[in-house]
Amino acid sequence: MKKIKILVDADIPFLRGALEPYADVTYAAGRDIRTATLRNADALLIRTRTRCDAALLSGSSVRFIATATIGVDHIDLEYCRQQGIAVYSAAGCNAAAVAQYVVCIWAAMAYKTGINVRDCVLGVVGVGHVGRRVAAAAQALGMTTLLNDPPREALETATAFVSLDELLTRADIVTMHVPLTPATRGMANATFFKKMKTGAAFINTSRGEVVDEEALLGYCACLRFLALDVWQREPAINRSLLKVVDIATPHIAGYSIQGKSNATTMTVRALAGFFGINALQSFTAATTAKEISLRAADIADDLYAYIFPIYPVLDDSARLHAHPQRFEQLRNSYTLRNEFQIL
């Protein structure tokens, strides 16, 4: 049987050697994947840095695209549908990692401002894979939690759902976990920020385009704390905004060992299912990572002391503040974190 041809983003971890017995595999940097590099590829395994649309795919023989990420806003789904190209994403793969990153932001905020998170009202905008975990962590730590997700509210009966207006006026911390859609693009705009409590904190780990950055710049003086992991026009991020962000990281909230392992595992299994490669349908990306357990009762009053040794987010922030021109390098060479669990 003729081997299928697969073009793979070289920065997808825990993958090299796994596909080679069953396919002709070519690796390339995500930003270097072009029409010419597709050759006669049957499948693409990518991350967010590869825009899959007609400009890239026209005339190719690609039948299957898998992104080892939770989002698909870098893929033209309608074009792929029209061309009969199957699309798969590793939805939920790094949800635990992103939620834990948010907990680390709370720890840094407590350290820098002296607040006790137990006294804070948390507003979670978007209650999907990540938002649910963020809410659970907040509740374990004793925080009052407000949820806003109209589509999910229509399907569920959780009493914590509130309108966006109520969330913004009551929350001491607002954290964004929505997918990028026409409805959410620019949703955090001037009106959004004006409704927030003066002295509240704002965190965005969803997509940079969810936030109107000029509106945020105009309001940031009213915020007590600002943390951004995602930005518009990455990697050429807004330097003016960077200067006023308390915690700034290069789109690495989901970069845990376990999260990356999950993404690669899910991606390979999806490929195996599509092409009928039976030997890969039980593939698991191997790691030596061990999850760390923390007791909520122990850590809530001094988050920073417990969290910083596991993940010193302030160090990542210092690096990006010092070298914004190295955004992509800092992201691609990032040392994956270990995950922790709050019991």
207 is a catalytic site residue: yes
Phi, then psi, of 328 in degrees rounded to 5: -65, -40
Catalytic residue among 152, 234, 321, 326: 234
The answer to whether 126 and 177 are in contact (CB under 8 A) is yes
Distance CA 106, CA 116 (A): 9
Identify the three-state secondary structure at position 75: strand
What is each CA distance from 296 to 110, 113, 169, 175, 303, in whole angstroms? 15, 21, 27, 20, 9
Distance CA 64, CA 85 (A): 5
Vertex 281: Cα angle to 279 and 287 (nearest 5) = 95
The answer to whether 296 and 342 are in contact (CB under 8 A) is yes
Distance CA 154, CA 327 (A): 39
Going through the chain in order, the beta strands assigned E by DSSP cover 4-9, 23-28, 43-46, 64-67, 86-89, 121-125, 144-148, 173-176, 201-204, 225-228, 247-248, 292-294, 340-342
Distance CA 77, CA 179 (A): 15
234 is a catalytic site residue: yes
Distance CA 316, CA 326 (A): 12
Number of CB atoms found within 10 A of residue 289's CB: 15
Catalytic residue among 251, 269, 331, 337: 251
Catalytic residue among 132, 133, 177, 207: 207
Number of CB atoms found within 10 A of residue 128's CB: 18
Please give the full DSSP string across 296-312, using - where no structure is assigned: HHHHGGGHHHHHTTT--
Token pair in block for residue 29: 């940097």
Q: Which residues are catalytically annotated?
A: 207, 234, 251
